[in-house]
A and B are shown apart, each in its own frame.
Chain A
Amino acid sequence: DQQVKQNSPSLSVQEGRISILNCDYTNSMFDYFLWYKKYPAEGPTFLISISSIKDKNEDGRFTVFLNKSAKHLSLHIVPSQPGDSAVYFCAASAVGSARQLTFGSGTQLTVLP
């Protein structure tokens, strides 16, 4: 049973527009959420995170929104750039097991020039 789900395997966006990547979770014990970006032949790179006590965290072009009641989070990238083309993984960490991450299956983002 997948506890973290990314239902869109791929997303294409025009350069300069907003990219919205979605993630749903089922485990109500998750209290910290992270987004990682992965280029081919590289390891995942930490992008941005959010604690369950917040509903928004912003870092430059990247903003993560958390809706706890819906068990849903999203990553907004604006403006999107061709260099943002990568696989984006959502990950979650549960209370009492902060050293374990549960990953979603990833979304391939393609930003078209």
Chain B
Amino acid sequence: DTEVTQTPKHLVMGMTNKKSLKCEQHMGHRAMYWYKQKAKKPPELMFVYSYEKLSINESVPSRFSPECPNSSLLNLHLHALQPEDSALYLCASSQELRGVDIQYFGAGTRLSVL
């Protein structure tokens, strides 16, 4: 089983709203990731959690706030977003395999900011 589950699949929010994206995996992976993907572009790394601790923040604006409540869950809290933040938000997880990480992705949350 290589399933990463993301909810919701679609989200529309105004610039003053607060919302959260959720990601769940039950593969025992100890690294989890948030990516942002714009149309016809590759995924861009936002955050990396390793053993439930934030290890990488790729200079993401503070209106995006990640949270890792436990080893299976990853949240992304959204507040005061801008229209240019509209994108596909992907969650991934990985477990080091023979010294290399293969990342498994969820289906993503399609976010529209009005």
Interface residues of A (CB under 8 A from B): 32, 34, 36, 41-46, 49, 51, 89, 93, 98-101, 103-106
Shortest Cβ distance from residue A83 to the other chain B in the assembled complex, whole angstroms = 18
With A46-B102, A89-B42 as known contacts, state yes or no: A99 contacts B107, CB within 8 Å. no
Contact B42 A32 (CB under 8 A): no
Interface residues of B toward A: which range? 20 to 34
With A32-B100, A45-B105, A49-B102 as known contacts, state yes or no: A100 contacts B56, CB within 8 Å. yes
- Grouping DSSP codes into helix (H, G, I), strand (E, B) and loop, the B interface class, with mixed when no group exceeds half, is strand
Residues of B64-101 contacting chain A, CB below 8 A: 90, 92, 94, 96, 99-101
Contact B108 A43 (CB under 8 A): yes
**Among candidates B31, B41, B106, residue contacting A43 with C-beta atoms closer than 8 Å:** B106
Q: Does B48 contact A (CB under 8 A)?
A: yes
With A98-B99, A99-B31 as known contacts, state yes or no: A46 contacts B104, CB within 8 Å. yes
